[in-house]
C-alpha cells in the first residue's frame, strides 16, 4: 500500500488515495470552491494520502448535483481552485479533480436539507436533462437531450479538462458512476435512445469514449486520466461487471489509464449486500477481465484490510472516503500499524508520533 505507483508521467507516493466526496459547500452558488475546500482537501493531503481527488465538479452549470456544488466551466473558478491545488501539491499529494455532469440527478437539495428531491426554480434549481425522459425515483422528469446537445457535452468536458490543468490539477477522473449522466448513457435502464448514442453497448458507450478521446487530446500524453465506473446497477437488465470490463478496455484504447470501481446509484430501491470491502471483487473482476489497473473503494476501513487488497492483487490502489472523514491522518496511522517508515510525516506534527496503541 505504501509502494509508489506511476501513471504516465506522474508518480504517487503511495496507493492510498482520497475518493471524491461532495461537500455541497459553495457559498454563492457560483461553482467556486471556498476556504472550506482548501481546509478540507488540504488536511487530507497533509495526512499522507497519495492523491486527493476533489468532489464531483460540474462541467456546465446544469450539471451540478446541487446548487452548492463546485464547477470548472469558467475562468473565475480556475482562479479559485489554484490555492487549493497548490496546497495539496505542497504537502506531497497529487491534486485530482473529478469532472462530472449529474444529468437527471442534478438540481437536488443538499443531503442535510429539510426536504429532498429536485430543487424548484424558485429556490435556485433548474430543469434537468438526461439521455431519455426517464426520471430517477423522487426527482422531476428530465428532458431528453437532443443529438446536438449530446455532441456538445464532449466539448464541455474538453473545456473543463483544459481548465483543470490551468487550475493546477495533476489528475482528472471522469465520473461515469453513481447514476450520473455518463452512467445514465451506459445503462439500458436509463438510456432508451434510438440514435447512435443508444441501443447497443457500443452506442451507449459512445459518449463516454468520445469524452475520453477529447480529454486525452486536450491534456496531452503525459497526464493521468481516470474513469470512475459503477460496476453494476444491482438491478435486473441493468449495467453489470462484464459491461464495465468491456467498456474499460475500450476506454483504455481511447486514452484512459486507470479505473476507479464503485457500484450502484442508477436506480433506487435495489438490494445491495453492503459489508466490509463489498465492492472490491468488482475492481478485481475489471482488473483481470480488461487487463487494466483499478482502484477499489467501499467500506475499506483498516490498514490491514487495505494492504491486503493491494498485496493480494485485487486492485492497484485503495480509495477511501468516510474513513478519511473520520481521520484525515489515516495513511500516517496505517503506516505506523504496518511498521512502515515514512519520510513525509509533517514536521509540525512529529511531537505526536502516530503510534499504535
User: Which residues are catalytically annotated?
Assistant: 180
Helix (H, G, I), strand (E, B) or coil at 299: coil
- The beta-strand segments (E) located in 66-207 are 94-100, 129-130, 143-144, 171-176
Alpha helices (runs of H) in 35-146, residue ranges in sequence order: 35-46, 75-90
Sign of the torsion angle spanned by Cα atoms 243, 245, 246, 251 = positive
Q: How far apart are CA 301 and CA 299, in angstroms?
A: 6
Cell of 229: 465506473
Distance between CA atoms of residues 215 and 172, nearest Å: 9
Are 208 and 247 in contact, with CB atoms under 8 Å apart?
A: yes
What residues are paired with 118 via a beta bridge? 108
Query: Which 8-state DSSP code applies to residue 120?
Result: P
- Which residues pair with residue 51 across a beta bridge? 94
Angle of helix 280-290 versus helix 241-254 axis, rounded to 10: 50
Amino acid at each position: 500500500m505504501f509502494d509508489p505507483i506511476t501513471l504516465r508521467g506522474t508518480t504517487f507516493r503511495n496507493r492510498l488515495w482520497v475518493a471524491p466526496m461532495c461537500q455541497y459547500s459553495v457559498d454563492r452558488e457560483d461553482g467556486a470552491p471556498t476556504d472550506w475546500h482548501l481546509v478540507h482537501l488540504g488536511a487530507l493531503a497533509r495526512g499522507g494520502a497519495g492523491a486527493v481527488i476533489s468532489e464531483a465538479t460540474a462541467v456546465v452549470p446544469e450539471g451540478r448535483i446541487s446548487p452548492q456544488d463546485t464547477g470548472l466551466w469558467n475562468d473565475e473558478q480556475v482562479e479559485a481552485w489554484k490555492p487549493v491545488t497548490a496546497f495539496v501539491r505542497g504537502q506531497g499529494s497529487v491534486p485530482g479533480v473529478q469532472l462530472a455532469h449529474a444529468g437527471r440527478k442534478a438540481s437536488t437539495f443538499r443531503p442535510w436539507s429539510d426536504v429532498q428531491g429536485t430543487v424548484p426554480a424558485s429556490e435556485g434549481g433548474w430543469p434537468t436533462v438526461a439521455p431519455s425522459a426517464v426520471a430517477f425515483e423522487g426527482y422531476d422528469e428530465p428532458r431528453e437531450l437532443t443529438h446536438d446537445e449530446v455532441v456538445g457535452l464532449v466539448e464541455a468536458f474538453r473545456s473543463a479538462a483544459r481548465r483543470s490543468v490551468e487550475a493546477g490539477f495533476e489528475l482528472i477522473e471522469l465520473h461515469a458512476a453513481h447514476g450520473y449522466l455518463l452512467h445514465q448513457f451506459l445503462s439500458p435502464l436509463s438510456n432508451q435512445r434510438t440514435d447512435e448514442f443508444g441501443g447497443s453497448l457500443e452506442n451507449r458507450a459512445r459518449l463516454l469514449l468520445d469524452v475520453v478521446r477529447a480529454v486525452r487530446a486536450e491534456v496531452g500524453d503525459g497526464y493521468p486520466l481516470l474513469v470512475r465506473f459503477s460496476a453494476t446497477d444491482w438491478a435486473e437488465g441493468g449495467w453489470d461487471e462484464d459491461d464495465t470490463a468491456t467498456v474499460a478496455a475500450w476506454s483504455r484504447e481511447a486514452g484512459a489509464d486507470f479505473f476507479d470501481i464503485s457500484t450502484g446509484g442508477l436506480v433506487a430501491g435495489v438490494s445491495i449486500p453492503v459489508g466490509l470491502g463489498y465492492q472490491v471483487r468488482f475492481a478485481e473482476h475489471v482488473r483481470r477481465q480488461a487487463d487494466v489497473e483499478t482502484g477499489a473503494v467501499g467500506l475499506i476501513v483498516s490498514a490491514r484490510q487495505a494492504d491486503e487488497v493491494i498485496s493480494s492483487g485485487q486492485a492497484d490502489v485503495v480509495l477511501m472516503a468516510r474513513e478519511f472523514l473520520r481521520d484525515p491522518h489515516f495513511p500516517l496511522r496505517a503506516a505506523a500499524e504496518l511498521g512502515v517508515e515514512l519520510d513525509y510525516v509533517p514536521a509540525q506534527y512529529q511531537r505526536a508520533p502516530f503510534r499504535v496503541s
